Structure 1
Amino acid sequence: MFSLFWENVRIALGSIKGQLLRTILTIVIIGIGIWALVGILSAVKALENTISGNFASMGANTFNIQRYEFEVQSNRSGEREKVNPIISYNNVREFLNKYEFPHTKTSLSFLGTAGAEVKFGSEKTDPEVRVYGINENYLETSGTEIEKGRNFTFFDVENNNKVCIIGSDFMKSLFKNENPINKTISIRGVKFKVIGLLESKGSTFGNNQDLRVLIPVQVARSMYTQPNINYNISVMVGDKQYMEAAQDEAIITFRNIRGLSPVEENNFGLERSDDLINRIATMTGYLEIAAWIISIITILGSSIALMNIMLVSVTERTREIGVRKALGAKRSTISTQFFMETIVIGQFGSILGIILGILTGYGFAKAFDFDFTLPWTAMIWATIITFIVAVIAGSYPASKAARLDPIESLRYE
Structure 2
Amino acid sequence: MFSLVKENIYIAFDAIRSQLLRTILTILIIAIGITALVGILSAVSALENTISSDFSSMGANTFNIQRYDFNNQRANDNEKIKPVISYRDVKTFKEDYQFPFTKTSISFVGTATAEVKYDNEKTDPEVQVYGVNENFITNSGLEVKLGRDLNYFDVENSNSVCVIGSDLRKALLKDVNPLNKTISIRGAKFKVIGVLKEKGATFGNNQDLRVLLPLQKARTIFTNSNINYSLSVKTDKKDMLEGAQDEAILLFRNIRGLRPVEDNNFGIERSDDLINRIGAITGILSTVAWIVSIITIFGSTIALLNMMLVSVSERTREIGVRKALGAKRATIAFQFFIETIIIGQLGGAVGIILGVLAGWGVSAAAGFDFTTPWLAMISAVIITFIVAVLSGLMPAIKAAKLDPVESLRYE
TM-score class, shorter: over 0.9
Match of 2:390 in 1: 392
Equivalent of 1:143, from 116, 134, 141? 141
Equivalent of 2:299, from 290, 298, 301?
301
Q: Which residue of 1 aligns with 2:118?
A: 120
For 1:274, what is the secondary structure of its paired residue?
helix
The alignment's TM-score, normalised by the length of structure 2, stands at: 0.96
How far is 1:363 from its partner?
1.8
Counterpart for residue 67 of structure 1: 67
Deviation of 1:40 after TM superposition, in Å, equals 0.6
DSSP-derived class of the 1:130 partner: strand
Residues 166-214 of structure 1, C-alpha deviation per residue, up to 9 Å, x if partnerless?
1111332212221100001111121111010000111111111111111
1:38 is matched with: 38
Q: Output the amino acid matched with 1:156.
A: D
Supply the RMSD in Å over aligned alpha carbons.
1.6
CA offset digits 1:277-306 (Å, max 9, x no partner): 222211111110011111111111111111
Matched to 1:224, the amino acid is F
For 1:183 and 1:73, locate their aligned partners in 2 and report how far apart those are by CA, in whole Å. 38
- For residues 102-155 of structure 1, the C-alpha deviation after alignment (integer angstroms, 9 at most, x for no partner) is 111000111121111111111111111111111110000001000011111111
Is the Cα–Cα contact under 8 Å of residues 335 and 401 in structure 1 kept in the other structure?
Answer: yes
In 1, the alpha carbon distance for the partners of 2:77 and 2:376 equals 40
> After the TM superposition, which residues 249-328 of structure 1 pair with which residues of structure 2 at under 5 Å, given as runs?
249-328=247-326
Secondary structure of the 1:96 match is: helix
CA contact (8 A) 1:73 1:81 kept: no
SS in structure 2 of the partner of residue 390 of structure 1: helix
SS in 1 for 2:63: strand
User: Which residues in structure 2 correspond to 1:362-373 (within 5 Å)?
Assistant: 362-373=360-371
- The equivalent of 1:229 in structure 2 is 227
Partners of 1:111 and 1:290 lie apart in 2 by 39
How far apart, in 1, do the equivalents of 2:73 and 2:196 lie? 36
Q: Distance in 1 between matches of 2:365 and 2:225?
A: 36
Shift in alpha-carbon separation, 1:73–1:230, aligned structure 2, 3 A: closer
Unaligned runs of 5+ in 1: none
When structure 1 is superposed on structure 2, of 189-198 and 225-234 the one drifting more is 225-234
- Pairwise mapping of residues 3-402 of structure 1 onto structure 2 (< 5 A)? 3-72=3-72, 79-402=77-400
Is the 8 Å Cα contact of residues 60 and 234 (structure 2) preserved in structure 1? no
Q: Equivalents in 2 of 1:106, 1:255: separation in Å?
A: 17
- Secondary structure class of the residue paired with 1:172: helix
Question: Partners of 1:97 and 1:245 in 2: how far apart?
Answer: 18
Residue of structure 1 equivalent to 2:403: 405
Deviates more, 1:243-252 or 1:82-91: 82-91
Query: Secondary structure in 1 aligned to 2:171?
Result: coil
Whole-angstrom CA distance in 2 between matches of 1:170 and 1:246: 35
Distance in structure 1 (CA, Å) of the matches to 2:47 and 2:70: 18
Gaps of 5+ in 2: none
Q: Is the 8 A contact 1:73 1:80 kept in 2?
A: no
Q: CA–CA distance in 2 between the matches of 1:153 and 1:235?
A: 17
Q: Over residues 86-117 of structure 1, what are the superposed CA-to-partner deviations in whole Å (9 max), with x where a residue is unaligned?
A: 21222111111111111110001111211111
TM-score, normalised relative to structure 1 = 0.96
Supply the distance in 1 between the matched residues of 2:298 and 2:192 (Cα, whole angstroms). 61
SS of residue in 2 equivalent to 1:115: strand
Letter in 1 for 2:5: F
Query: Which deviates the most, 236-245 or 105-114?
Result: 236-245
In 2, Cα distance between the equivalents of 1:138 and 1:92?
13
Whole-angstrom distance in 1 between the partners of 2:2 and 2:67:
68
1:338 to 1:143, Cα distance in 2 relative to 1, 3 A: same
**Mapped contact 1:33–1:353 kept (Cα < 8 A):** yes
Q: Give the conservation status (yes or no) of the 8 Å contact 1:166–1:212.
A: yes
Structure 1 counterpart of 2:16, one-letter code: I
How many residue pairs were aligned?
A: 411
Instruction: Please tell me whether the aligned partners of residues 52 and 280 of structure 1 are also in contact (alpha carbons under 8 angstroms).
Output: no
